[in-house]
Structure 1
Amino acid sequence: MRNYLTMKKSILLIFYSILLSINNIYSQEEHSTFLDTYYNLIESNKKDSARNITINYLKKFRHQDNISEEYLDLYMLLSETDNFDTAILYLDTIISLSKSIEKNYHYPATAYYEKGSKYYDKKNYIKALDNYLLAYSEAKKQQNEYLEIISLNNLGLLKLERAGSEREAIKIFQKCETYYKKDTNISTYPIDYLILIYSYSEAYRNIKKLDSSLYYNKFGISESLRLNTNHIKDYFIFSEGINESIKGNFEASLDSLRWSKKRLIENKDIGNIILSNYYFGKSYLGLNNNTKALEHFKKIDTLFTENLIYIPEIRLAYTYLKKNAVKNNELKEGIKYIEKIQKLDSLFINNFKVINNTFKDEFNNKDLQEEKYNLVKQLEDKNSESIYKSYLLVFLFIAVISIYYFLNKKNKYYKKKFNEIVDNIDSNPITIKNNQFKELKIPEEIISKCLASLDKFEKENGFLKPNLTTYNLSKIIGVNTKYLTKIIKGKKGKSFPNYINELRIRHAIKKLKDDPIFIKYTISSIAKEVGFSNTISFSQAFKKYTNLNPSFFIQEMIKSKKS
């Protein structure tokens, strides 16, 4: 919520300063007219016109011998009309000139505060921290309690949003709360007060105290209505939508998120729009609506690419997008999301975690400004670790894709081989070689008789008899084992075991193809049916003859029959 309100809060602070510092040179009416015109031009984004009227108004002060607060006020207004670099120059000028003013209620604290806000908007959180610390210190010196408190509050927000130090942030918020509860401060600064309540809710949610977060959301809604600030109320509804998603109440979460969505878009609150999309996606995932979840996570990708805003939940969204891309074999998308995660990790290391432990604890009875930075050590190690993890992810991603490609290619080969075997099983019997009988050195009549007997043996499925040996078969055919072995080797082109095994495997394939009952047998039963003594010898013979495992062959046969 702070992102949306930063500039408006700064401008209102400046206007408040100017209205309090009217001197006798100009009437309050003239000041008010100028401020109204300036404000309307800024709101209409006509910054050039706002700059011109401010410069003209500034000329009226040049006859003064001494620098006054009114003069610095106008420089503050100029800082809102120009680009970032020029605005910083204006603010540095104010800081320098303010040293010449003896009794100075607003400067240089206001200029430091505004510099902090501008650096925050530029995502330079270290310099934002520097300037908020200086604003806090100077406001204390000047006894400007309001500026002291809003500077302290922003330090708490940096602790909460950029350093992940929620418990320390809560201590800071408690000190700010004491200020707002004094006198009429709540009614004077309702927006700042409600931001504080919202910050409490966010801090307690981050440390998983959802009941406390719920309390502040309800309290924030009640106070928003009481203070007539409905545009802030929607943020508490949004916060509760996040809580409901975390608790698993996904429908309730979606209701609250839908209610607050329009307000976030209206305010161009990019950070919270990203957060909203994440919890939309998370809730849709919880409801098993992966399509809608993916839609919201992809919106996060677009918003992050355009704005480079770091929010921890973005990484979770990218992790989901990466897994989804890998699952759908979208290689380029998968690599793209890995690179986005690398970018996100780099932003986290370089811009956010370095803020942690750079504050001094105001609540250890030490002056906050005296505290020096203690930047997180081992940033380079963390950066190296992040790079290593990213490379490891890329390597694993490529390895998974490579394995998938290899298996897919192998599976296509097996299917092609299966089709060839099934198509040719009936047309490719074991052939007889045309070599001359005399090469076997066996009488022709014995060879002819043996081949005729083998043909009968094959047709009558004699090979299905288990434990078949050359001795058994030689007795059936009526030739000695020596002749039988030579004839099978010479005319069939195979050793006796390979000859018998091929006949059995061919028979098994035919039965699997033609017999709907046989295909339901276990591999062990099929092995016994075709003459093998055990499953292992059957599987080895099947693989040798077909280049396929029997289990794969049977599965493909079943699929082909269904189709």
Structure 2
Amino acid sequence: MKKIPFVILFFLIQSLCFSQSIRGFHIPDSLKTKSFNQLEENYNKVFRINNKKAGLYANVILAKGKKEKNENFIYDGYYKIAHIKGLTSENGHPYADSLIEITKNVNNKEYPAKAYILKGILLNYEFEYKEALNYYIKAQQLSKDKNLDQFFYIKKLIGILKTATGENEDALPLFLEYYNYQKQKINTKDQDIKSYIGSIFSVANCYNKAKQYIKAQDYINIGIHECNKYKDYTHYPYFISGTGIVNYYLKNYKKSIDSHLEAEKSFVKNNDYWNLAITYYFLGKNNYDTHHEEAAVKYFIKTDSVLSISRNFDPITRDSYEILIDYYKKKGDKKSQLKFIDKLFFADSIINNSKQYLSKEIYKKYDTPILIEKKEQLIADLNSKNSLLYIYLAIGTLIIFVLLLLYIQNVKKIAEYKKQANKLLEKSRITVSLAVDYKRRKEESNIIEQKGKSPLSDKRLQDIKMKLELFENNKEFLRKNITVDSLAKDFDSNRDYLSKSVNELKEKNFSQYLNELRINYIVEELNKNDKLRKYTISAIADDIGYNNSESFSNAFRKITGTLPSYYIKLLREENEKL
């Protein structure tokens, strides 16, 4: 980058981050004479160990870089400050955005790919997985054939996203590739100790998530050994935390508690709220499983408090809310019970919204480009291959096309459900009752006269008609396991006659009649009762007589054109606008 454009750009962007890193910040006297190499060395010693100190060194690097107009150290300063802020649940995005802006025309080994990697890391810390993936893919494109370190590092980052969706078997090969790459470098002049030890942790963590606890502990032991060997303790507390998790699942509760209490000190010191929340969660689980309920509850409440501070949520902690709800139910504390029911409901909404789409995006945006890249390699090598490669190429293309087609169909289906949910809500607004309306009831009352002579006895038909009206008015259709046989018995009739009567009076078969009564009823109730909207689909289905949520959802979709989950979500959104 030329100096004059850089200076102009520097003054344009400094308003974004300069106030946070320079205004009011003074380089301590003890650091004024330090060289950039010394500051870098000091930063590396305390990163993830004492992030407050690491943040100080990062600010000094940025301040000195700007003062001396050294572009490389300005880049480095922005990168380090943003990363520290991401780790401590602060807003590092202005720094990452500035770094992307000032390096967008740079073309060297590090940048601009490193700026996009940083942005993805910050989004990952905030559980914005879909957006994080976009930046990783951009970085992968920029680093291709330029920087092997970045290329393999991005594999690790993609692996981290895959573990977030429970795709641990797919993530493990990525972590092992990164580990083997770093292991090969460790005895060369290009060794990167911090990345090497970090790669060991990634493998150990993935084995932990895959419930292969013995293998996880093997890699944790390797990691701790390497921390001591190279005197680099950046990842040490995470290995200790991993040991606590392994021992919990292996039911070594005492060892697990000791490890988590040791890790807690580092996470508190560094304001690492995410890992601190996980630590408190496992301390709660250890106490709960060993029947120390009061201690468990205290740790679960701490878990919730820390997650509230960080404004993040980890799905693994979900069952802590269930335990808290049961605990306060036994105590008769309805206020606290309701509080944690709301917390659980919120947790489920996060899980459903993030995890549901993440897995699709990773498959579509990461795996598919890899398949395409392989396809391009096949084409490049086509002259030296036999005709069998054409078959592989065709199969690969077909798979990609089918996956894309399925994805598009799924998007269209979701859009249609949302559209029908809006139509359903609009009907309720213009006071057209979704239950059987007055006009239909009047038509049914006159149906015998309108139809002329009925093949059924008028007197018996009138008797069935009256009983059906009582059946509807008394909401008896909400009972479970109603069949035409059981209702015929209640009506002192027989199956065939009741079935024909329903066809005659309602112009539909018995199954359609029963489903419409139930669905029209629940739509009205959902419109009126906001508490009902907080129930699970299974609970609602059970309340109106269905044996499972699938049969309820299918009936709801056939009658309304949408699914109950989409309609409930729309009602909640409308309620929030009021």
* TM bucket normalised to smaller: 0.5 to 0.7
Contact 1:315 1:341 (8 Å CA) reproduced:
yes
Secondary structure of 1:130's aligned partner: helix
Q: Distance in 1 between matches of 2:173 and 2:202?
A: 12
Identify if the C-alpha distance between structure 1 residues 57 and 365 changes in structure 2 by more than 3 Å, giving closer, same or farther.
same
Shift of the 132–211 alpha-carbon distance from structure 1 to 2, 3 Å rule, reads same
Equivalent pair of 1:88/1:115 in contact (CA under 8 Å): yes
1:33 is displaced (CA, Å) by 7.2
Task: Name the CA shift for 1:56/1:277 in 2 (closer, same or farther; >3 Å).
Answer: same
Q: 3-state SS of the aligned residue for 1:158?
A: helix
Q: Which amino acid aligns with 2:181?
A: Y
Alignment-derived partner of residue 99 in structure 2:
91
Letter of the 1:361 partner, please give it. D
Matched with 2:299 is 296
Instruction: Please say if 1:277 is aligned against 2:280.
Output: yes
User: Deviation at 1:304?
Assistant: 1.7
1:158 and 2:166 are equivalent in the alignment: no
Q: Could you tell me how far 1:75 is from its partner in structure 2?
A: 4.3
* 1:64-113: CA deviation from partner (whole Å, max 9, x where unpaired): xxxxxx63652453465686453244233234322xx5xx2222212211
Find out whether 1:129 has 2:133 as its counterpart. Answer: yes
Taking a change above 3 Å as real, the CA distance of residues 365 and 93 of structure 1, as seen in their structure-2 partners, is same
DSSP-derived class of the 1:367 partner: helix
**Counterpart for residue 534 of structure 2:** 391
Identity, % of aligned positions? 20
Quote the Cα distance in structure 2 between the aligned partners of 1:222 and 1:48: 32
Q: How many residues align structurally?
A: 353
Question: Which residue type is aligned with residue 91 of structure 1?
Answer: L
**Structure 2 unmatched ranges of 5 or more:** 1-33, 47-51, 83-90, 377-399, 422-529, 544-578
SS of the aligned residue for 2:184 comes to coil
Distance 1:353 1:221 in 2: 35
Equivalent residue number for residue 367 of structure 2: 361
The CA distance in 1 between the partners of 2:239 and 2:40, in whole Å, is 32
Q: Distance in 1 between matches of 2:224 and 2:81?
A: 35
Residue matched to 1:179: 181
| CA deviation profile, 1:423-444 (whole Å, cap 9, x unmatched) | xxxxxxxxxxxxxxxxxxxxxx
2:74 maps to 74
- 1:221 correspondence with 2:224: yes
Amino acid at match of 2:148: E
For residue 55 of structure 1, what is the amino acid of its counterpart?
K
Q: Report how far residue 124 of structure 1 moved.
A: 2.3
CA gap of 1:73–1:380, structure 2 versus 1, over 3 A, is farther
Question: Following TM superposition, by how much is the alpha carbon of 1:252 offset from its aligned partner in structure 2, in angstroms?
Answer: 2.5
- 1:264 corresponds in structure 2 to 267
- Do the aligned partners of residues 181 and 254 (structure 1) sit closer, same or farther apart at CA in structure 2, a change above 3 Å counting? same
Equivalent residues of 1:335, 1:394 under 8 A apart: no
Q: CA RMSD in A?
A: 4.2
The equivalent residue for 1:339 is 342
**Structure 1 residue 56 corresponds to structure 2 residue 67:** yes
Q: Deviations over 1:328-386 (max 9, x none)?
A: 111111111111112112222333442214233399765399999988957969999xx
2:340 is paired with a residue whose SS is helix
Q: For residues 357 and 326 of structure 1, do their structure 2 counterparts lie closer, same or farther at Cα, with a shift above 3 Å needed?
A: same
- Give 1:271 deviation, angstroms: 1.7
2:109 match: 105
On the 8 A contact 2:130/2:361 being kept in 1, the answer is: no
Contact kept in structure 1, 2:325 and 2:340, CA below 8 Å: yes
Matches of 1:369 and 1:322, distance apart in 2: 53
SS, match of residue 182 in structure 1: helix
Q: Give the structure 1 partner of residue 566 of structure 2.
A: none
Letter in 1 for 2:140: Y
Q: Is the 8 A contact 2:43 2:57 kept in 1?
A: no
Question: Counterpart of 1:13?
Answer: none
CA distance, structure 2, for counterparts of residue 95 and residue 368 of structure 1: 30
Determine the C-alpha separation between the residues in 1 that align with 2:375 and 2:276: 35
Shift of 1:289: 0.9
Once residues 352 and 343 of structure 1 are traced to their aligned partners in structure 2, the CA distance between those partners, rounded to angstroms, is 14
CA distance in 2, matches of 1:167, 1:127: 23
Residue 115 (str. 1) matches residue 119 (str. 2) = yes
Equivalent position of 1:250 in the other structure:
253
Larger Rg computed on CA atoms: 1
Which residue among 305, 310, 313 is the counterpart of 1:307?
310
Cα 1:392–1:37 shift into 2, 3 Å: closer
Q: Match of 1:215, as an amino acid?
A: D
Quote the Cα distance in structure 1 between the aligned partners of 2:63 and 2:234: 32
Letter paired with 1:94: I
1:258 CA drift (Å) = 2.3
Which letter does structure 1 place at the counterpart of 2:154? S
- Paired residue for 1:348, among 351, 372, 389? 351
**Post-superposition offset of 1:179:** 0.9
Partners of 2:266 and 2:57 in 1: CA distance: 24
CA change 1:195–1:51 in 2 (3 A) is closer
> Match for residue 192 of structure 2?
189
Structure 1: 5+ residue runs without aligned partners? Answer: 1-28, 59-69, 401-563
Q: What does the per-residue CA deviation read over 1:363-416, in whole Å, with 9 as the maximum and x for residues that have no partner?
A: 9765399999988957969999xx99972269979x99xxxxxxxxxxxxxxxx
Q: Distance in 2 between matches of 1:314 and 1:367?
A: 38
Whether the aligned pair in 2 keeps the contact of 1:280 and 1:293 (CA below 8 Å) is: yes
Q: Give the Cα–Cα distance (whole angstroms) in 2 for the partners of residues 49 and 232 of structure 1.
A: 24
